[in-house]
Amino acid sequence: MSGPRKVHVKSFGCQMNVYDSQRMADLLAPRGYAETASPDEADLIILNTCHIREKAAEKIYSELGRMRALKDAAAEQGRKLTVAVAGCVAQAEGKEIVRRSPMADIVVGSQNYHRLPDLLARAQSGEKIVDTEFPVEDKFDVLPAPQTTATRARGISAFVTVQEGCDKFCTFCVVPYTRGAEVSRPVAKVIAEVERLAAAGVREVTLIGQNVNAYHGEGADGREWPLGRLLERAAHVEGIARLRYTTSHPHDLDETLIAAHRDLPALMPFVHLPVQSGSDRILAAMNRNYTRGEFLRAVERLRAARPDLAFSSDFIVGFPGETEADFRDTLSLIEEVGFAAAFSFAYSPRPGTPAADMSDQIAAEYKSERLQRLQALLTQQQRAFNASFVGHTLDVLLEKPGRLPGQLVGRTPYLQAVQVMAPASRIGEIVPVTIADLGSFSLFGALASSATSGSETHLAHA
């Protein structure tokens, strides 16, 4: 084979998968695989899959169907295209994938992808490989650090996985089965990774985990550190201007995290706190381990610590047994909190989870009707939240080129995308931007003079 081999990684689902996809590319780089954005020129395509809802899982089989044409085209050019299925569908469906689709050459679970180089070598003989056993070794100990050039190419905002897996067993969710038991990475390893990112020019780090505020990694003192302490340590890393974390569970909100929001200027005032439902009956059936009242108190405690804090959340409608009254409880919770953003889903039964076997499943038409009503309310709140900034000046971290020539796109502290005219040389800077207008997906603003630099606090929900 002539020239470097090329790998194309397609990521589905959550930020954890985005992070894993980057680590797979980092793992293959020293083995001569250059990353490509184009599947047509790839020698290896990795589909890093999501199993959270049925539609997400089914998508993978249509993707695999499309691989036939790519494999044929590669063969015509004298190349062999290898297709690997990684991530949560791989973990959950294992051998079933190679049975259903002859296009898959390798199936590798979310905890095993550090073994990809060996699996690739074995696949060259035409053997179909399935590796989904939870390994004894920790993949993080084996994964190489990314090359500085790769980090730079990925931009000035990066994810760092700090914990994986989940022991909560919400009755609707596959994560405890696909990602396994909850494990936290030691503080020193997380901080070393943040330092490496900062040295390569990263300005914003989002600490991620399926249940990030269950974090309890070992600190330098040999004790388990909670997330709030880890954030406090990360805030000291030179060059890191902004910190975020996701996804947290309302039950695991502790005083250190609340203190972090009060005390750390680098910790952005935007929290993704999934509530799922506003009905106590449904929350109990979901095994969420908090009540509506406890969720509302969690929101209050966070707002008391940082009054300009904005919230986003996840919602599921049509969970088994959900009545119109339960659904209205969710709508009233939304009214009570006021969300800046949200993700909402119709309940999707997942094989092997307790809720899939509950007898009182909700008909599809009720689910979609409720989802529409819920999304109408959430969209209205998001628009009102965004509109409340028009005429105000916010600090914006300039991230990358925008849609038009001469335009950059950046993020506000509340994670809103802002389009602003500014030279590319300013990427990585935090600049004051006066918001002028709202688009469907982003805000439009203009650079303000630094005299008005956004030290201003915007009480969006005051």
Give CA 43 to chain center in angstroms: 27
Interface residue with ligand SAM, options 42, 47, 52, 283 (CB under 6 A): 52
Three-state DSSP class for 150? helix
Q: Does 312 bind ligand SAM (CB under 6 A)?
A: no
* Residue 132 CB, nearest approach to ligand SAM (Å): 19
- ∠ at Cα 365 (359, 370), nearest 5°? 95
Three-state DSSP class for 392? coil
Helices in 222-320 by DSSP H: which ranges? Answer: 227-234, 255-263, 280-285, 292-305
Helices in 106-265 by DSSP H: which ranges? Answer: 116-123, 139-142, 148-153, 175-178, 187-199, 227-234, 255-263
Q: What are 239's two structure tokens?
A: 């060059």
Name 229's bridge partners. none
Partner whose binding site includes residue 52, from ligand SF4, ligand SAM, none (CB under 5 to 8 Å by kind) = ligand SAM
Distance CA 438, CA 441 (A): 8
* Residue 336 CB, nearest approach to ligand SF4 (Å): 22
Q: Does 280 bind ligand SAM (CB under 6 A)?
A: no
Distance CA 164, CA 173 (A): 15
Q: What are 383's two structure tokens?
A: 């628009």
* Residue 307 CB, nearest approach to ligand SAM (Å): 25
Distance CA 86, CA 99 (A): 16
Interface residue with ligand SAM, options 12, 113, 159, 172 (CB under 6 A): 172
Q: Does 337 bind ligand SF4 (CB under 6 A)?
A: no
Q: Does 169 bind ligand SF4 (CB under 6 A)?
A: yes
Q: What are 293's two structure tokens?
A: 């009242």
Partner whose binding site includes residue 169, from ligand SF4, ligand SAM, none (CB under 5 to 8 Å by kind) = ligand SF4
Q: What are 369's two structure tokens?
A: 């009707």
Question: Is 14 or 271 the residue whose CB approaches ligand SAM more closely?
Answer: 14
Partner whose binding site includes residue 348, from ligand SF4, ligand SAM, none (CB under 5 to 8 Å by kind) = ligand SAM
Interface residue with ligand SF4, options 83, 173, 253, 397 (CB under 6 A): 173
Partner whose binding site includes residue 129, from ligand SAM, ligand SF4, none (CB under 5 to 8 Å by kind) = none
Map residues 377-416 to x or -, x wherever contact with ligand SF4 holds by CB under 6 A. Answer: ----------------------------------------
Residue type, 104: A
Where on the chain is the footprint of ligand SAM (CB under 6 A)? 14, 52-53, 172-173, 175, 210-211, 247, 249, 274, 276, 314, 316, 345, 347-348, 350
- The footprint of ligand SF4 (CB under 6 A) covers 166, 168-170, 173, 175-176, 210-211, 249
